[in-house]
Amino acid sequence: MPPRKINLVEEADRKIDKVFDPHIAGDVNDSQAKVAKFGDEFDWHAHENEDEAFLVLRGKIAIDFRDGSVELGEGDFIVVPRSVEHRPRSLSVEPIVLMFEPATTLNTGNAKSDLTVTDLKRL
C-alpha cells in the first residue's frame, strides 16, 4: 500500500480548531512535520538544543526576535537556529504554518505556559 497523501491546508481547516495547537502531519526519521494555525501572539521562547523551521502555507506571519522581526508570506521559509529566542505571531487571520523539528521538541521550548502542548494530535 502506498503512503497516504494529504493536503495540509484542507486537513488543518478540517481538524485544527484552535490557534497554536500543533498537529503532527508526518514523521521523518527522528523529526516531525507539524501543522498549526497561528494566532495573535505566541510566547517568547527558545529551543536550547533544536533548530526549528517554518514554512507558511497560507496567510502571513511574523517571527519576532529580540533584535527585529521577519515577516513571512505564503511559500516563505525560515530556519530559527537553536538557542535563538523568538515569538511567532499572525499578520493575517489564522495563517497555517508547517514546522519541521525533532519529534521531542516542545512547542514552547524553554517556556511553560497555557500554550504548551505536550500531547499532540495527528492530522
- CATH code for position 19: 2.60.120.10
pLDDT surpasses 90 at 109: no
- Return the top range by mean pLDDT from 37-51, 55-69, 103-117: 55-69
pLDDT surpasses 80 at 120: yes
| Residue 3, domain member (yes or no) | no
| Residue 29, domain member (yes or no) | yes
pLDDT surpasses 80 at 27: yes
Contact 19, 36 (CB under 8 A): yes
Boundaries of domain holding 38: 8-122
| Residue 2, domain member (yes or no) | no
| Residue 14, domain member (yes or no) | yes
| Residue 108, domain member (yes or no) | yes
Q: What is the count of structural domains for the chain? A: 1
| Residue 66, domain member (yes or no) | yes
Q: Using the structure block, give the residue that is written with the C-alpha cell 508570506.
A: 73
Question: Which residues, 6 or more positions from 100, have their beta carbon under 8 angstroms from its beta carbon?
Answer: 28, 31, 32, 33, 34, 52, 53, 55
Mean pLDDT value across the chain: 93
Residue 112 confidence class, pLDDT cut points 50, 70, 90? confident
Question: Which residues, 6 or more positions from 16, have their beta carbon under 8 angstroms from its beta carbon?
Answer: 23, 35, 36, 37
Three cell numbers written together for 70:
521577519
pLDDT surpasses 90 at 13: yes
| Residue 105, domain member (yes or no) | yes
The model carries a pTM of 0.92
| Residue 118, domain member (yes or no) | yes
